[in-house]
Amino acid sequence: MQPLAGWPAAARAGIAGVLTDIDDTLTTNHAVTPDVLQALDALRAAGVHVIPITGRPVGWSEPFALQWPVDAIVAENGAVALTHGAMPLQLRKLYVQPEPVRSANYERMQQVAQRIVREVPGATVSQDSPGRETDIAIDHSEFAHLPQAQIDRVVAIMREEGMNATVSSIHVNGWYGDHNKLSGARWVVRELLGRDLDAELQRWVYVGDSTNDVLMFEHFPHSVGVANIRRFEAQLAFKPAYVADGERGAGFAEVARAILSARG
């Protein structure tokens, strides 16, 4: 991981869009600070697309999709997108999976969640679970604490049950389906902007902070970790190309400044 200062100005000047994680990337202590809101406003004013992609539930994401100056929020690890509707203060919800598939998967996932709570000491479903439609989440660092061995056991159970499983900075997420952050990014860019993300990778940057961002770090030539990525560094199969000096929201604001300063 090179320091963010090593990101060439010519590459930064060509950035047309920012894809970003939310927890501990946009947020600091679970809140979006004024410098991040200013950064999002400045990116929008410069014509740079911003799309957060998160493991958080769609219900949790709705107020932020309304309030933040972003094109959309892709929630539940690529399963559902929230964007503005035809009327003010109205959201449009787009799903990767059809409703019958979502309904059947939901019932299966609740059974897996119950198994995890029974079998893994200390495991609890996340407090934001009532807003989830297409995945389950086990809290390991938001309001509860699970040691690494217990986190590994949660992941193992999810995979035994045929689920995909990833570990964010706060939750273990599990779901049925072949979607993920990368496929969600491709899907939303195509659906909302009518563009082929893979055809213009050099014009997008991904910003993240944890192991569930590895697929994005691998895929995007321009990828940045906020400074708190270093606590996961030993676990990253693929590291971001660059790392910001600032942690969490301050790191994201640093990335925004780097992009905007190169645009002249």
Whether 89 shows a pLDDT value over 90: the answer reads no
pLDDT of 203 above 90: yes
Do residues 126 and 235 both lie within one domain?
A: no
Q: State whether 133 and 75 are in the same domain.
A: no
Q: d(Cα 204, Cα 186) in Å, to the nearest integer?
A: 11
17, 53: one domain:
yes
Domain closes at, from 131, 157, 175: 175
pLDDT greater than 80 at residue 144: yes
Per the structure, how many domains does the chain have? 2
Are 36 and 12 contained in the same domain? yes
Say whether both 237 and 121 belong to one domain. Answer: no
| 81 and 139 part of one domain | no
Do 119 and 132 sit in the same domain of this protein?
Answer: yes
Do residues 78 and 106 both lie within one domain?
no
Whether residues 25 and 155 fall in one domain: no
What tens digit of pLDDT does each residue of 97-142 get? 999 999 999 999 999 999 999 999 999 999 999 999 999 999 999 9
CATH code, domain with 137: 3.90.1070.10
Same domain, 160 and 115: yes
Range of the domain at 201: 2-95+179-261
Specify whether 13 is located in the same domain as 62. Answer: yes
